[in-house]
Amino acid sequence: MVALEATVSGALYIVSALVLAVLASASFVAPQEENSSRVNFLSKAACLLAAFLIVALLALAVQGAKLSGGALPSIDILARYVTRTQSGGLWLWREAYAALLLVLVLSFRNSAAQDRIARWLFLIAVPLVASRALSSHAAAVRENNGIAIAIDALHLIVSALWAGGLPVLFWLLWRRNRDLSAPLGWAAGLVVRFSRLALASVAVIIATGLYQSWLQLQSWSALVETAYGRVLLLKLALFASMLALGALNRCSTKPALLKAAASESLPAKALRRIGAEAALAVGVFCVTGFLTVQPPGAHSQHRLAAASQSAPTPAAGVEIKILSPREGDVVHGDQVPIVFRMTGGKSGYHAHAYVDGELMGMFETRNGTLTGIAPGAHTLELRIVAADHQTELDASDRIHFVVK
């Protein structure tokens, strides 16, 4: 089931990236004067959107099977998932959006002013790719998940432009080599324009990728000690190979193409190198599919927290202070809002809240609410805890309050 889920997830990445890459190629990479190639691009975009709809249906079936304990899902399960869950609603929205985009592509495929239409369709396709961030690991981040989702969305878009654009570029060059219908200068022009797009995309991919990696791992050890970290290492190795081949293509293949006579066919070596880079790009998407089914490295290191039986671990620079409720405060109702100030130092990650010695909550932000507190006098103690949810550091604060 896990392998199937990862495969479908990877396929969805590939198809959605290709949709955006084909429309980006029609908008920014295809020669300005060539409307016929844009018509061709839009036909391919329509096929890819149809493939997206089918793969998304497969993804829904896999999700349904997960919810049915591995069995074939019933219509009732699928309907409940789509209509009553956040991720199911998102699935429905993306499917409807892709269908609408398909109708638009088919409607405008043969109209005049193809360059302008291609750019509009490209812009409309961006949310389809970016919206996957709303049900990704970024959506599950506990703090500032709006920022995490935005950065993941940006990562998805630029990855689609570069890694999705490479197979499209390879296909264009391979086709040109097969029938020699266009001069070599045409191919060189394509490579130059794609190269510019790729260079900008790679810079953003590295920045957003580093942020996301740290967010999901939280420690260097998680990179080698967790399954998520190891799959990420594999992805990074493929990405580094892509970068090396990309640099080679930029420094060697592109100048060779620009120097070659217009009548020559595309050098086989150049085509092989671009093809290898495109194959690595597809590999990166497949590995990303496996990454989505792994628990983030930071989560893998979590263990069920329990009241600490041992002495707190000494740690420098950690401090916690309860700001609300204050000593002796009277709270009405069984919900007790808490506000505190915390300096985590190098190892302090979040706070455990104890009421009368019993662990009642965990807070990663600097405020929260304890619920179900019985009437009477209570002692509230907050302790700073390391990222493993087990190691309590020697920093705590304690107050007394009354619930009426």
Least distance from other proteins to the Cβ atom of residue 338, Å = 12
Calculate the dihedral angle through the C-alpha atoms of 319, 324, 327, 329, rounding to the nearest 10 degrees: -170
Instruction: Pick the binder of other proteins from 31, 34, 58, 66 (CB under 8 A).
Output: 66
- Using rule CB under 8 A, residue 3 touches other proteins: yes
Instruction: Pick the binder of other proteins from 300, 313, 347, 391 (CB under 8 A).
Output: 300
Least distance from other proteins to the Cβ atom of residue 85, Å = 4
- AA identity, residue 141: V
- Using rule CB under 8 A, residue 142 touches other proteins: yes
Least distance from other proteins to the Cβ atom of residue 247, Å = 17
Instruction: Pick the binder of other proteins from 16, 25, 63, 131 (CB under 8 A).
Output: 63
In angstroms, how far is CA 167 from the centroid of its own chain?
21
In angstroms, how far is CA 81 from the centroid of its own chain?
22
Least distance from other proteins to the Cβ atom of residue 316, Å = 25
Instruction: Pick the binder of other proteins from 58, 223, 227, 339 (CB under 8 A).
Output: 227
Which tokens hold the place of 262? 């217009």
- Using rule CB under 8 A, residue 305 touches other proteins: yes
- Using rule CB under 8 A, residue 154 touches other proteins: no
| Binders in 78-117 for other proteins, by CB under 8 A | 80-81, 84-87
Encode 54-65: b = buried (16+ Cβ within 10 Å), e = exposed. Answer: ebbeebbebbbb
Least distance from other proteins to the Cβ atom of residue 110, Å = 33
- Using rule CB under 8 A, residue 76 touches other proteins: no
Instruction: Pick the binder of other proteins from 183, 185, 267, 295 (CB under 8 A).
Output: 295
- Using rule CB under 8 A, residue 369 touches other proteins: yes
- Using rule CB under 8 A, residue 39 touches other proteins: no
- Indicate the pairing of strand 330-331 with strand 392-403: parallel
- Using rule CB under 8 A, residue 359 touches other proteins: yes
* Smaller CB separation from other proteins, 66 or 250: 66
| Binders in 194-213 for other proteins, by CB under 8 A | none
Least distance from other proteins to the Cβ atom of residue 124, Å = 25
- Using rule CB under 8 A, residue 189 touches other proteins: no
Least distance from other proteins to the Cβ atom of residue 106, Å = 30
| Binders in 234-263 for other proteins, by CB under 8 A | 234, 238
Residues that bind other proteins (CB under 8 A): 2-3, 6-7, 63, 66-67, 80-81, 84-87, 135-137, 139-142, 227, 230-231, 234, 238, 271-272, 275-276, 279-280, 282-283, 286-287, 290, 293-296, 299-300, 302, 304-307, 352, 358-362, 368-369, 371-372, 389
